[in-house]
Chain A
Amino acid sequence: MKRRNFIQYAGLGAGALMMPSLLMGSNISAEALLNPGLDVAAKKQLADVALNTAKSLGASYADARIGRYLNQYVFTREDKVQNVVNTESFGIGIRVIANGTWGFASTNNVSPDGIKKATEQAVAIAKANSKIQKDPVVLAPVKSHGEVSWKTPIKKDFKDVPVAEKVDLLLSANKAAMDNGANFVNSALFMVNEQKYFASTDGSYIDQDVHRIWPTFGVTAIDRSIGKFKSRQGLSAPMGLGYEYMDGLASEKIAGPEGTGLVGYRNSYDIVEDAILAAKQAKEMLTAKSVDAGKYDLVLDPNHLGLTIHESVGHPLELDRVLGYEANYAGTSFATLDKWKSGDFKYGSDIVNIVADKTQVGSLGAVGYDDEGVKTKQWDLVRGGILKNYQAIRDQVHMIGQNESHGCCYSQSWNDVQFQRMPNVSLEPGKEKYNINDMIKDVEKGIYIAGRGSYSIDQQRYNFQFGGTVFYEIKNGKIVGMLDDVAYQSNTQEFWNSCTKICDENDYRLFGSFFDGKGQPSQVSAVSHGSSTTRFNDVNVINTGRTI
């Protein structure tokens, strides 16, 4: 716990939403978000200043990222607008290799003079560090793409939608929750546009326009007489979509298990509908049955399973963790190179197929090119339950005998150095026709879990404990009621080998994490995880209720 976090916690209530301050730029008006920024020709000219300066100082490689990051956040509680924030952050980050060593510097002075100075600083840092560098950087080749561009395929740019419309939508969701028995409700909309220009001495000039959106809320119900309170978070997913995600299209809804009232949202979210259900469920939680600890078959909704995939598959297969580059912070990995090299390491059961992907439409990780100019793609991590590959970037792939970067390098801003980040990591749907009610019907003693909750996993990704948003008891093929105090503890390999059934592609949805943290200094990135509802047999469930 860092002191600043402590202060953050102390200043915010249980229902408050936390936002990393590092994502903030300078405050601007909503209208100013529509300013187009520098044109491509001007960006190329500026980037060339960095590349030429670096080369003249002896750098063997350089890349420059000119970034303009536009954010709009809307915060409300009950019938009040708490804050509307529009920010812009603009600057350039320059990365060089000199004497076989990386150096990085950034500046918000995006003039030829400012860029020249920052480049000199990056080269000076590389040279200072080269004195203790033992393994010179080896970059996998990447072909020059010339001058290219890519844009998230959105239908509605959030910047074109009036703030009042967004505020009205959140306030109507809040009202719906309050009308249905909530005591408190906080809601928020996060909207992000990354305008990124990349240039490197390999000859690529790449202009990209990336969009993301995340509507979220927390509803709290209280019974003061017994001193109890329960919260139910929204079941949206952050998405790589435009404002069209808020349309609430009926065609994008999937009915949840009978008896729960839950709805799964694909590429369109109905925040008012979800807020009504949230209020009813928060009230129901106050008197829900406390779970009996023991072994259960777990039926996990995609909006819950996504986080389990993220923690137990996404992170352990990051090559930098496997190799020890993250040892001092996020940790290392149980999925060591010898397991991968054996060619028969059983990560999961035969039906477990997990893919990494940087191209999936609607996902948070989708871009045309990564932050070191590599064209993005999809690749297998686990196929037929066997560990097949890792996630690796240009300066890493040679360490696993490969010569092509996977294209998953990312930096959260112009101000931070790019490094390997998790692509979308998703579980493929089952091949036979099978829906959620078929699955519930087949379970004798189980628990259905939807939504993210408390999640904790060890630094090598063996032992984890996950909670959820809502829990329902399954008895003899039927949902019989809500449960409370549920968390499951397992071991990654054991858990994925207990995977016995996966619903078909009609049930497939994306879960997302908007603020996945890694690295020192810590950086966030946004990543999606797709899956269909999935069953895991005989998982250990603990009761988290305590009396104080």
Chain B
Amino acid sequence: MAIYTKEEARQILEKALSYSTADTCEINLGGSESGNIRYARNTVSTSGHRSNQNLSVQSSFGKKSGSASIDEFDDESLRKVVQRAEELAKISPENPEFMEPLGPQSYDDAITYSEATAKITPEYRAMVANSSIEPAAANDVTAAGFLNDSAGFSAMMNSKGLFAYNKSTDISFTVTMRSNDGTGSGWVSRDFNDVNKFDAAEASKVAIDKALMSREAKAIEPGKYTVILEPAASIGLLGNMGGALNARTADEGRSFMSKEGGGTKLGQKIVDERVNIWSDPLHPDVPTATWNGAGQALKKMSWIENGVVKNLAYDRFWAKEKGVEAVPGPSNFIMEGGTASLEDLIKDTKKGILVTRLWYIRGVDPQTLLFTGLTRDGTFYIENGKIKHPVKNFRFNESPIIMLNNLETLGQQVRIDGNLIPYMKVRDFTFTSLSDAV
């Protein structure tokens, strides 16, 4: 599949739209090429390549809508897919929440595409795997890792004159290193839009070092501890908190963001005043598309400012119901950090636990945003500013709201899963039991 240019995409969409006889019609077009390599036991296990392209039409007569999609773009196929969407619309029930498509919008130019990433070859992927496997074997450690790269485009056009286009690339890489005596495990995660920023050997070394350092962990009593959370640890809890930033469920009274007696927590201080969280599609370290699937322009948007809920996401229907401007949901998550490095944070800690990552996080109570899960792949006891020894993994039961109220120090930001999150030192983090898992 080719990654269509803006003009090629426009031509296909205009052609498809020319067949529409509906009251309104909106068409999305996209395609991607992706490749991956997976390795384990210090050897490659599976590897593959995927190619997809799709054009999807939504036609509406009044409040009745129908959708159809297709993966071939010749004139006859385009005519048929539009016709099929219209047939489906005519026999569909009315959607009382139907919103007419948006008119023309103005979008910023996205910075999500890297030619180098789009040109990744099977040989490059094998080289990445080898950058883990060779040093692992040399250190009596076993590597299991996964690299996925993709390049794609998306475009949309509607009968109200809206046209949007974007192309993007990304790579994501994770590797778990386990010491061959079975007592130590380390892990690392890297993701970028531009593969030139990725150093597989450097990343693999981080995981190997953690595997070796975490051997023969000691058990310490579960309880409340000061923790230093690496960004890979806190993102799971923060991301789940993001799920509550939805205006409709808050208004309906079934969200953490619902207020006792009615209304929402918009404007209310819910966490420490040093907490600032926003989204920004043009941030050079974590760029995203500048429009979403509904054609709404994505701009920099504040969600938590000085600990106060600054915005909730309103879809277009709910915004109309409530008489407010629609607020599209975030496309990334950026949390303000500080200047302290991980080493600085450790040096300033009298007694605490360093957590590499949290895993198998599941909601326990949506009312309080309580989550449970476990530490994994590198958990260390800190005493008097130094890592003293590895500790056995813990199960936690904690709410990101409590975590962000117990904030001690914010450190430097790191990209993780397309988000930018700081190292964080937090007091009284609740560990409820021990796990024997390595």
A→B interface (CB under 8 Å): 1-3, 5-7, 9-15, 26-29, 80-82, 84-85, 101-108, 121, 124-126, 128-129, 131-135, 167, 183-184, 220, 222, 224-229, 231, 323-329, 331-332, 334, 415-417, 419, 454-463, 465, 467, 485, 487, 489, 491, 520-521, 542, 544-548
Contact = CB atoms under 8 A, between A and B. Distances in A.
B87 to A, nearest CB: 7
A459 B239 contact: no
Contacts of A455: 362
A171 to B, nearest CB: 10
13 contacts: A9-B240, A29-B84, A125-B122, A128-B123, A132-B44, A132-B126, A134-B42, A184-B254, A324-B144, A465-B372, A467-B364, A544-B364, A548-B401
B96 interface: yes
Interface stretch (B110-118, B325-333, B348-356): B325-333
Contacts of B434: 463
B196 interface: no
A335 B94 CA distance: 54
A101 B44 contact: yes
Contacts of B38: 328, 520
Nearest to A81: B93
B175 A544 contact: no
Contacts of B67: 27, 85
Contact of A13 (B142, B242, B248, B332): B248
B69 interface: yes
B370 interface: yes
A456 B333 CA distance: 25
A116 B372 CA distance: 49
B252 A26 contact: no
Given A5-B239, A132-B129, A545 B362 contact: no
Interface in B134-171: 142, 144-146, 148
B38 to A, nearest CB: 5
Given A7-B331, A132-B44, A13 B367 contact: no
A457 B45 CA distance: 26
Which of B48, B372, B438: most chain A Cβ within 10 A?
Answer: B48
B237 to A, nearest CB: 8
A128 B436 contact: no
A489 B40 contact: no
B360 interface: yes
A521 B48 CA distance: 10
B360 A129 contact: no
A465 B398 CA distance: 13
Contacts of B359: 458-459
A487 B372 contact: yes
Contacts of A228: 367
A6 B51 contact: no
Contacts of B261: 224-225, 227
Residue among B174, B253, B255 with max Cβ neighbours from chain A (10 Å):
B253
A491 B417 CA distance: 31
B48 A544 contact: no
A27 B370 contact: no
B205 to A, nearest CB: 16
Closest 3 CB pairs of A and B: A1-B239, A9-B243, A227-B260
B27 to A, nearest CB: 13
Given A1-B240, A134-B42, A542-B432, A458 B437 contact: yes
Nearest to A226: B260
A132 B37 CA distance: 12
A222 B259 CA distance: 12
Nearest to B312: A10
Nearest to A336: B182
